[in-house]
Amino acid sequence: MQVRNDMAPSDRRRSRSPIGWLVAVFLAGAAGFVAGSARRPAAAHDRVEPYDSLSEFAEVLYHIDKDFVRPVPQRRLIYQAITGMLQFLGPHNRFFPKEFYDRIRNLTTGVYGGIGATVVRRANGVIIARVTAGGPAQRAGLRHGDVIIKIDGVHPKDVGEAERRLHGKVGSPVVIQFTRTHRGSTITVNRILEHRRTVSWSSIIPGYGYLRISTFTPGCAIQVRKGVDALSHPKLLKGLILDLRSNPGGMLSEGLAVADLFVRSGILLIRRSRRRIETLKAHRAGTLPQIPMAVLVDRKTASSAELVAAALRDNRRAILVGTKTYGKGTFQELLRLRSGAILKLTVGRYDIPSGRNIDRIGVRPDLFVTTAGVQPPMTGLPPRYRKDRWMAFALAALQGRLTATRPVTKQER
């Protein structure tokens, strides 16, 4: 149903009638009913109930529009109704208006139009934290420490809004007002196609490597292979620490591809939907050398990240070090509606190789990084890692100096 926002509240009230509402909702319900009846025979009470419920909804909406103490935009009411319905189904079901489409696509693909700059929040506002060498931001004159005042004439309230306004269609311009040492400037930057780099690696001490995955995006498995190859040259590693802390997930296909790099054979995941059960297995071809591994996890390790951790642990390819993970064992599909809005709907669940579902439970580590009790052995760690308890526990475990810890606090359990 189309809404005219340029009409006054009184005009909007005169332009609609309860009959119009009922007809519109009735037709919407009829379409859904016909689609559903095509799949299965309907009982008599099934045929009546949808129409009665939709009539009630239309009546409530009409009375709110006509009698509520103040005018409320129809679109907001309908979106709130949809949101309430999806929340009833579970915490991961969401509805996004059509203006969120590009943002959702960027988050899931890792590809977007940007200016080659990273922003952070500081006491003096939103500032430029880093500019990509040779990128459009650097070429236009932006530097680390510049304070952003306005983006396309709008003052960003926070980092999230700044990022949304800096990102956009590839090739489109964005006007940025900023200050540097109390002097203001305005520049125009054309957005380019950017790929978020989500994999990084480094050597901890000779023979032991560290590989971090911040989220699973396209090409992640290729980058992981490159990282392991680089760390293993010229001599094969004695141990590898895979860091999945604060990894919210991302593309499951990339996560499974990463797990497949380390597991020669066995089940990686069991996927259950309403009409299908699918067992996903590892492939021997392309498997990396069987380097001893420790995987770092915490309460922010979620979704495909915790499924990867469980796949490596259940196939005896790694020990898990840290705290219990977030606990998301369901999967959602992004369904684009005819209006352009997006429906994120839970359509199935995942079971880890041991056969358990981790939803709202999480994955328990083998070695708990306790907040009290056991002190991590810091000997042998470079200075930059000595404040990281996770790294200390993981390295000690790979070196055989630590074999077991237990959760101490109730929260850790």
> For the segment 168-189, what is each residue's pLDDT rounded down to a tens digit?
888 889 999 999 988 999 999 9
Burial 173-204 (b: 16+ CB within 10 A, else e): ebebbbeeeeeeeebebebbebebebbebeeb
Q: List domains and CATH numbers for the chain.
A: 9-89 (no CATH), 111-195 (2.30.42.10), 199-398 (3.90.226.10)
pLDDT value at residue 130: 84
pLDDT recorded at residue 12: 36
Q: What is the pLDDT of residues 24-39, one digit of tens each?
A: 444 444 344 334 433 4
Looking at per-residue pLDDT, the higher value among 198 and 260 belongs to 260
Distance, C-alpha 356 to centroid of its chain: 23
**Residue with the two structure tokens 């475990």:** 397
Give the Cα separation of 365 and 159 in Å (integer). 33
Enter the tokens of residue 114. 């940007």
The residue ranges of DSSP E strands in 49-158, in sequence order, are 94-96, 111-114, 117-122, 125-131, 147-151
Please report, rounded to a whole number, the percentage of residues in the chain having pLDDT higher than 90: 52
299 vs 373 pLDDT, higher one = 299
Check pLDDT > 50 for residue 317: yes
pLDDT digits (tens, 9 = 90+) for 66-120: 999 999 998 889 999 999 999 999 988 999 887 776 666 666 566 668 898 888 8
pLDDT confidence of residue 51: 65
Is 5 a residue whose pLDDT tops 60?
no
pLDDT tier at 386 (50, 70, 90 boundaries)?
confident
pLDDT of residue 327 exceeding 60: yes
**pLDDT the model gives residue 25:** 43
Alpha-carbon separation of residue 180 from 130, 131, 135, 140, 177 (angstroms): 15, 15, 19, 14, 10
Angle CA 106–359–413, to nearest 5: 115
Three-state secondary structure call for residue 156: coil
**Is the pTM value of this prediction over 0.75?**
no
At residue 333, does pLDDT exceed 90?
A: no
pLDDT of residue 4: 31
361: confidence class by pLDDT, cuts 50, 70, 90? very high
**Number of other CB atoms surrounding residue 94 within 10 Å:** 17
Q: What is the mean pLDDT of residues 41-59?
A: 65
